Structure 1
Amino acid sequence: MLPAKLGRAVAASLLALALSATPSLAQDAKPARAQDAPMGEAYTGPVGNPPHGIAMHGSPALPADFTHLPYANPSAPKGGRIGWGFQGVFDSMNVFIRKGAVPLGMFDSTLGPNVYEGLMFRSYDEPFTMYGLIAETIKTDPERTFLEITIRPEAKFSDGVPITVDDVLFTIDMLREKGAPHLANRMKAITSVERIGDNGLRMNFADGSNRELPLLIGLVPIVPKHAITEDEFGETTMTPFIGSGPYVVESVKPGTRVVMKRNPDYWGKDLPIKRGLDNFDELIVDYYRNETSRFEAFRTGLFDINGEGSPIRWSKEYDFPAVQKGDIVLNVFETKTPVAMQAMVFNVRRPMFSDERVRQALTLLFDFEWVNANLFNNQYVRTASLFQNSELSSYQRPISEAERAILGDHISQIDQALLDGTYAPPKSDGSGNDRTNLRQALKLLQQAGYGLVDGKMTNKATGEQLSFEFMGLTRAHERLALAFQRNMMRLGIDMQVRTVDSSQYWQRWLSFDFDMLMRGYSASLSPGTEQFGRWGSAASENPGTQNIIGANSPAIDAALDALVAARDRGDFVAAVRAFDRAVMSGTYFIPLYHAPGQRVARRTRIAVPKTTSIYGYQSATWWETE
């Protein structure tokens, strides 16, 4: 187990980088170039994983002799095409660097690693598990202080040249020196490299504090040393580099279209991890200048798949002729991953929000039922947990003995309803004027030292009206805030709604210069050190971090220490649930809503497997029926 001090030390080291999607892993001392790696000896000590795969917690679910991924159809036919449409433009085909806007489809989390691929391949039917792809064997110690791999002898790039240790070493150097931050930071965490025999290498890390690191490195795309110069690697280009993936780029229409063709000689097509995947002969990715033209293009058949992010449009605008004739089918794919927490957050550093009873009162005044019916056509579900819809959520689950041990004496900070699993966000009668909730809110405000004076909710000690500013960024923020403002006025609370430009919004966000604003908390099945930047006490008084709320809770800190120290899945789940309870108990925000499932419209000629992964649909498993 990692000691509590180590967890907080990790948090402190992340403060300056907490706004980054990927925390920096750079070391103080610049490591030697990987391409100068000396020969080393294979590790022979205790191992932390089987050679065919590695899981974030515990062991991989699939045995070494698995035949295919659980959500893939190994009998899926090959052939046909699939078309995607996105809003925007692109001006580069170099996916490895920060400069330039690149199209989706070559190497990304949306459409997958089609042109470029990593040492390992992720199974989306497990929280976070990687299986060998280019890497034939994977090895690390129980502390995860290194990653040692051997390269499959059959692995090769699309031009037929075998993938070697030199390509991996070249990739490490190029990404360290020129790569996009999320890739560069992973490579910078490698303190030294050793060659192991003719087709192996070991990447050493400073310590095992980031247990995700071997898995994250496994995701990094490997580039061909023989086909890219160091100068070319760091520049934008409309000529794609060679990859080792199942597709090659056939044509590019700058800014608007990329066509990728399945490589019939793809080296990995018969591997179990790839069986039933990469079924289309052609992938087409089109770009449109605005959302109106993009959606119209889908309606008229210019592309095949449309993931719909707006539940309102899903309920009102998918009645066009192609749907009515049965040429398009509407699917809602269920997932078992956490939904993002969208919330109106309090800045608890502000005097009016430092008393939790005031925050509880305002939470009662947000009428979700009215908002959902009148603004969103009843398309949303109320969110009640940072990890709702997953095994990590504490919602509707009584606290376990393992969680009690994690929280220790700090358990007294947790609301009883969150301990016994009966907590739920306030519910109204949907009228927009629920008198029961208004009375409960008034009682809490009176307990906090407020009272109505000439129709104004007034602090009896200072004589000042309860007043705050909601800072919004978009018209959608403003629309929701104005609906909330009506209930504030009923209790004499002065809620000012102000929409500002992007520059001012983010500057005030970074400097904690706000009373209330909207924000989202993305979540995964493997939360880690990024949570210290969002919720850790060490980040609460450091402008520039993601702890914009100002949470400073020993209960949260204790749960976070247990979270990063966990080694098996059971301990990890207990730690995350304890963390969830501690955060929800603090009333740091007004939880809003989410749309259940993944909404996707597709042409009926596109078939999908019967089994869906826990992360939802995976388009690499689809195929054409015509």
Structure 2
Amino acid sequence: MKWLLSAFALLVLNVAHAEDFVRSHALVMHGEPALAADFSHLPYVNVDAPKQGSVTHEAQGTFDTFNPFIVKGNAAAGVGQIYDTLLTSNNDEAFAQYGLLAKSIDLPADRSWVRFNLRPEARFHDGKPVTAEDVVFTFNLLIEKGAPFYRAYYGSIKEVKAESASSVRFTFADGTNRELPLILGQLPILPKHFWKNHDFSKADLTVPLGSGPYKLGEFDTGRSISYQRVTDYWAKDLPINRGRYNFAEIKYEYYRDSSVALEAFKSGRIDYRIETSAKDWATAYTGPMFDSGKVHTDTLQNENPQGMQGFVFNTRRDLFKQSDVRKAIGLLFDFEWTNEQLFYGAYKRTNSYFAASELASIGLPKGGELALLEPFKKHLPEEVFTQEFTLDKTRGDGNIRPQMREALALLKGAGWSLDKGKLVDANGKQMHIEFLLYQKTFERIVLPYTRNLQKIGISTEVRVVDVSQYVNRVQNFDFDMVVGSFGQSSSPGNEQRDFWGSKAAEHVGSRNIIGVNSPVVDSLIEQIIAADDRQALIDATRALDRVLLWSYYVVPQWHLNAWRVAYWDKLKRPARNPKYALGLDSWWVE
């Protein structure tokens, strides 16, 4: 009887423990995963694609390290392909993560912790198993020695613990950060037995060890690098990977100028290209190889939010601390003329940090968005509540005198005045702005803008530097203005801290290159992270978008809801693209 009672008590305890969490094959931000636990493959792949051939991509600049996790150095293109993560994406879903290294995920109702249960067959390329100790080691290593981004991204994690050789648990500071379990799933796992004998903080060419579908092949430092498909890749037959990673070899060739890279593509040295220049797309992709069908040019639509690309102000500079100054400088960018004369009318003006999505602020704030903004009313411009944010439109003929008059009025109110054709401050010092670039082709876009600035007495300089110098200066916030982009997903979250958070503004190497330092922005970011349903996420994101727009932190540029892709006929792609990605990992060579 005692034995039966003890067994019954143990059974009850186990059942109670099992009810403390839900075990699943996938995680989603809101709702349920689209693919059931017994799915056979992703819906957009060709499971019969041959595993063969080589593909060559272009890369910009140079590289001097294989470590993409630290601030130092320029990491080699494509090096992330050698690593596996705990979970991986289905690019048909806005934010869904399916098991890769992790076979299953345990998550309680209050989302105060998450447990990843590793697959016993998971292996590094040297044959050693991927263990919970490797996960713990990786997390601590990135927090202690990785780029500042990781400390911001994983800032709400209180503890990580290996509960067994194949089970690791992350405990959160609270259960309000709904995204944390999913972004932990994106953690690339590094081998403890390898890095304990190497200096992780050095930006050098130590050949790393991974567990992913590719491993490092031959390389010519700063000029080219190749990756070889791992033929005995431990995860090649998992449903999430069927029809993917079909190239036997992936190469990257480095070019310092995109025009040279274009000629390399047309000569057949490069197999595939995403074209970002509207002018080149309209004029350069012509000739016998295009007419004969040897080279394909496709415009592939996508459903991604377009984020924000613009001329970025470094608000750490005294010159740009006043929003009226930033607004005035923005008025002198003639997008309508630029779009017609330089881009063949291809683009739309970006009017949101979450452009082309339901997350973009529209009209006046109302409902949940208004409720989030009202407590900060005295800290925000009155226009946030009374006017819809719009960008000034020019006639497109190059005549921007109305914008010049408005800009001068704003600048006069900020303490600037015209003196013998120069815009000067109270001490007689002329306003001077340096535009820092690393792509010479962008000069043709910046120079008309600087001529408009010069017309109202602003001294300008366009400085084009090599990629290494550019990265170093931007990471150390040593610039006036740069062309910056802030990509967004359909489910924004913790990355917003690194984009706009006050703490990130203080950290060298963070993505808050603007220098946003605002308690209002910080609060709205936390509201986004804590949103417990889709509508709450939309409200908080729209509120953040509205505050950023009315602060005039950037001069918005343009966007296109498509990829312009050119590729040689040897490359084939599935019948359809995923909704939120180009899906290159499912292409193949025929």
Alignment TM-score, normalising by the size of structure 1 = 0.74
Aligned 8 A contact 1:47 1:139 in 2: no
Match of 1:52 among 2, 25, 28: 25
Aligned 8 A contact 1:83 1:303 in 2: yes
| Map of 1:25 onto structure 2 | none
Match of 1:468 among 420, 431, 446: 431
Aligned 8 A contact 1:257 1:287 in 2: yes
Aligned 8 A contact 1:93 1:238 in 2: yes
**What is the rounded CA distance, in whole Å, between the counterparts of 2:504 and 2:166 in structure 1?**
44
- Summarize the Cα distance change of 1:499–1:46 in structure 2 as closer, same or farther, 3 Å threshold: farther
**Secondary structure of 2:250's partner?**
strand
* Stretch deviating more after TM superposition (299-308 or 384-393): 299-308
Match of 2:253 among 259, 281, 287: 287
- Summarize the Cα distance change of 1:90–1:431 in structure 2 as closer, same or farther, 3 Å threshold: closer
Amino acid aligned to 1:72: V
Aligned 8 A contact 1:385 1:580 in 2: yes
CA offset digits 1:404-428 (Å, max 9, x no partner): 12112546856769878x6431111
- Summarize the Cα distance change of 1:102–1:575 in structure 2 as closer, same or farther, 3 Å threshold: closer
Asked if residue 340 in structure 1 is aligned to residue 303 in structure 2, the reply is no
Deviation at 1:442, TM superposition (A): 6.8
Deviation at 1:101, TM superposition (A): 5.5
| Map of 1:67 onto structure 2 | 40
| Map of 1:599 onto structure 2 | 564
- Summarize the Cα distance change of 1:267–1:587 in structure 2 as closer, same or farther, 3 Å threshold: closer
- Summarize the Cα distance change of 1:180–1:592 in structure 2 as closer, same or farther, 3 Å threshold: closer
| Map of 1:496 onto structure 2 | 459
Deviation at 1:285, TM superposition (A): 0.7
Asked if residue 322 in structure 1 is aligned to residue 289 in structure 2, the reply is yes
**Secondary structure of 1:483's partner?**
helix
CA offset digits 1:544-581 (Å, max 9, x no partner): 98777676767545533422332323211210111111
CA offset digits 1:344-363 (Å, max 9, x no partner): 5385985897474x655554
- Summarize the Cα distance change of 1:183–1:363 in structure 2 as closer, same or farther, 3 Å threshold: closer
Q: Which aligned pairs between 1:368-517 and structure 2 lie closer than 5 A?
A: 368-394=335-361, 396=362, 399-410=365-376, 413=380, 423-434=389-400, 437=403, 468-474=431-437, 482-487=447-452, 493-499=456-462, 517=481
Aligned length: 567
Deviation at 1:91, TM superposition (A): 5.5
Q: Structure 1 vs Structure 2: percent identity of aligned residues?
A: 36
**What is the rounded CA distance, in whole Å, between the counterparts of 1:297 and 1:551 in structure 2?**
40
CA offset digits 1:63-103 (Å, max 9, x no partner): 33333334333444444433323345556656667777553
| Map of 2:547 onto structure 1 | 582
Gaps of 5+ in 2: 1-13
| Map of 1:146 onto structure 2 | 113
Deviation at 1:401, TM superposition (A): 1.2
Amino acid aligned to 2:352: S
Amino acid aligned to 2:233: Y
**What is the rounded CA distance, in whole Å, between the counterparts of 1:90 and 1:548 in structure 2?**
22
| Map of 1:523 onto structure 2 | 487
Deviation at 1:366, TM superposition (A): 2.9
Amino acid aligned to 1:424: T
Aligned 8 A contact 1:297 1:303 in 2: yes
- Summarize the Cα distance change of 1:363–1:192 in structure 2 as closer, same or farther, 3 Å threshold: closer
**What is the rounded CA distance, in whole Å, between the counterparts of 1:258 and 1:444 in structure 2?**
51
Amino acid aligned to 1:524: Q
**What is the rounded CA distance, in whole Å, between the counterparts of 1:550 and 1:167 in structure 2?**
35
Aligned 8 A contact 2:421 2:457 in 1: no
**What is the rounded CA distance, in whole Å, between the counterparts of 1:521 and 1:617 in structure 2?**
19
Deviation at 1:498, TM superposition (A): 3.2
| Map of 1:110 onto structure 2 | none
- Summarize the Cα distance change of 1:583–1:164 in structure 2 as closer, same or farther, 3 Å threshold: closer
Amino acid aligned to 1:125: D
Amino acid aligned to 2:40: T
Aligned 8 A contact 2:125 2:211 in 1: yes
Deviation at 1:599, TM superposition (A): 2.3
| Map of 1:271 onto structure 2 | 238
Alignment TM-score, normalising by the size of structure 2 = 0.77
* Stretch deviating more after TM superposition (358-367 or 303-312): 358-367
- Summarize the Cα distance change of 1:370–1:45 in structure 2 as closer, same or farther, 3 Å threshold: same
Aligned 8 A contact 2:132 2:164 in 1: no
CA offset digits 1:113-163 (Å, max 9, x no partner): 3x3212211223334332111211112345544331212233334555544
**What is the rounded CA distance, in whole Å, between the counterparts of 2:523 and 2:88 in structure 1?**
34
Amino acid aligned to 1:272: P
CA offset digits 1:505-553 (Å, max 9, x no partner): 9999899998x63442413224445545655678889999877767676
- Summarize the Cα distance change of 1:169–1:424 in structure 2 as closer, same or farther, 3 Å threshold: closer
* Stretch deviating more after TM superposition (326-335 or 64-73): 64-73
**Secondary structure of 2:197's partner?**
helix
TM-align CA RMSD: 4.7
| Map of 2:532 onto structure 1 | 567
Asked if residue 298 in structure 1 is aligned to residue 265 in structure 2, the reply is yes
Deviation at 1:370, TM superposition (A): 1.7
**What is the rounded CA distance, in whole Å, between the counterparts of 1:118 and 1:89 in structure 2?**
26
